[in-house]
Amino acid sequence: MSKKIIGIAVALLLILVYLVFCMISPASYSYKDEVKITGPYKMVYVVINDMKDWPKWYSWQKADPGFKMSLGGKELSVGANFTFESSILGKGYVVQTEGYQDSIIAVNMKSSKLPNDISIGWQIIQEGTKSVYVHLNARLKGKIPFIKRGIYFGLQNKLDKLFHDDLNGMKTYIEDLVKGDFGVEKVTYDGQKYFGKLDIVPSAKIPEFYAKYYPKIYHILDSMNVKVSGAPAGLIYDWDARTGIVAIMAALPIDIKLPFMEGWSYTEVSKGECLRMKNYGNYTTLRSAHVKMNYLMDNSPYTLEVPIIEEYVTSPSQEPDTSKWLTNIYYPLEKKGGYIKTVENKQTLEDLIKMEEAERQKTLKNLLREVKPN
């Protein structure tokens, strides 16, 4: 038998083998899985929603030590994205396409080693007050052409393992987080006088609110020869989680008491114990910090006093790298725990939560009446 005939026979055999692989490889791909996580509902959301946190839980880097990730211009919520390079996944990018009421997040992943884009979605379902279920759904967009299916033989097992490990990595990361204190420490707040602007502001508009009023506050104090004695601060008096409305004061610390000035606010925050967290990052990272602080408060023997204080230690003019911006967050404490309060009133925890929410809504309405736009 000639070498030519042998070569043709080998080629035909390889083609036949490849066609067999095409026949037994799936025409599409989808994956469903879930995991139960012991931790707060909102913390799960911010861990998925903030792409800076992804390397702390996804399995991609463990599966491929040479994996490289580069964050895009946006890191949170819809439009957040990153590019990657990997021997397993190839070159590609991930972009968030959907975020709904702290319960659903969806991303689109494109990769040079995938036949089509993959849509990945997480649904967060609360179970009680201390655990959640996370449902993951992944789906390859479109069918894989028959002639190409042999190329992607084994893809299903590889992706199944990747997504399964991702869910368990998320579980481990969050459950380890809640075992710690997030770097939060109990300190004594020395007390401070503040002058500024109090208003009711949608949470998404707070940076704009600050940009509008901080220059005016500095100007007023300069005109009165009043020295600013520290970093700018945001004093949070109340909030409505459903609407995202926040009663907040753009404030500057001063050392003297000021008389009443129509359209402006003066307040004194008294000395007392508080929980303090040092947060590094731009303003959008503060949401994650507050979720962690709320979790600690929910599991502490204390109740929260107001105002919550955000002290913006690092200004953009001092440090262009947003990852180095420092914000000190103070949660003032009342020496009286939620559990004790429940027992004294002989109410269930659910009754107490409803009562406190009613009180909060009442306070917010009062603030709305008191605060007049300037």
Residues 73-92 have pLDDT tens digits of 787 788 889 999 988 888 99
Chain mean pLDDT for the chain: 81
pLDDT tens per residue across span 205-250: 899 999 999 999 999 999 999 999 999 999 999 887 667 788 999 9
| Averaged pLDDT, 15-32 | 71
CATH of 27-179, one of 3.30.530.20, 3.90.420.10, 3.40.720.10, 3.40.50.920: 3.30.530.20
Query: Quick one: pLDDT at residue 260?
Result: 87
Q: Name the residue with higher pLDDT: 371 or 279.
A: 279
**CATH 3.40.50.720, domain 185-370, yes or no:** no
| DSSP assignment letter at 271 | P
- For tokens 């299903």, what's the residue? 156
Q: Give strand pairing partners of 174.
A: none
Q: Which helix (H) or strand (E) holds 149?
A: none
Q: At what angle do helices 338-345 and 349-370 cross, to 10 degrees?
A: 100
**pLDDT over 70, % of the chain:** 80
Digit-coded pLDDT (tens) for 335-346: 554 433 332 333
Given this model, what pLDDT does residue 373 score?
A: 46
Tell me the CA end-to-end span of the chain in Å, nearest whole number. 96
For position 83, what pLDDT does the model report?
Answer: 92
Tens digit of each residue's pLDDT (9 = 90 or more) over 122-156 = 999 988 777 899 999 999 887 877 677 666 677 78
Query: In this structure, what are the phi and psi dihedrals at residue 224, rounded to the nearest 5 degrees?
Result: -100, 5
Q: How much is the pTM? A: 0.60
Measured distance CA(30)–CA(121) in Å, rounded: 11
Give the span between the Cα atoms of 172 and 47, in whole angstroms.
12
Spell out the domain ranges in the chain: 27-179, 185-370
What gap in Å lies between CA 322 and CA 315, rounded to an integer? 9
Is 52 in a helix, a strand, or coil? Answer: helix
Q: 27-179 and 185-370 share one CATH topology?
A: no
CA distance 295 to 42: 9
Residue 262: what are its φ and ψ, rounded to 5°?
-60, 130
Q: Give the pLDDT score at 256.
A: 93
Beta strand spans in the chain (E): 30-38, 68-71, 81-86, 90-100, 104-111, 118-127, 131-140, 185-189, 192-202, 233-240, 245-254, 265-269, 272-280, 303-304, 308-312, 326-334
Tens digit of each residue's pLDDT (9 = 90 or more) over 158-198: 888 889 999 999 999 888 877 766 778 889 999 999 999 99
**pLDDT single digits (tens) 309-366:** 999 999 777 788 877 889 999 999 885 544 333 323 333 334 444 555 565 556 655 6
Q: By mean pLDDT, which of 7-11, 30-34, 161-165, 258-262 is the weakest?
A: 7-11
Residues whose CB falls within 8 Å of the CB of residue 343, separated by 6 or more in sequence, listed in order: none
Residues 28-39 have a mean pLDDT of 88
Residue type, 80: A
> Which residue(s) pair with 25 in the sheet?
none
Residue 28's nearest CA partner among 95, 117, 113 is 117
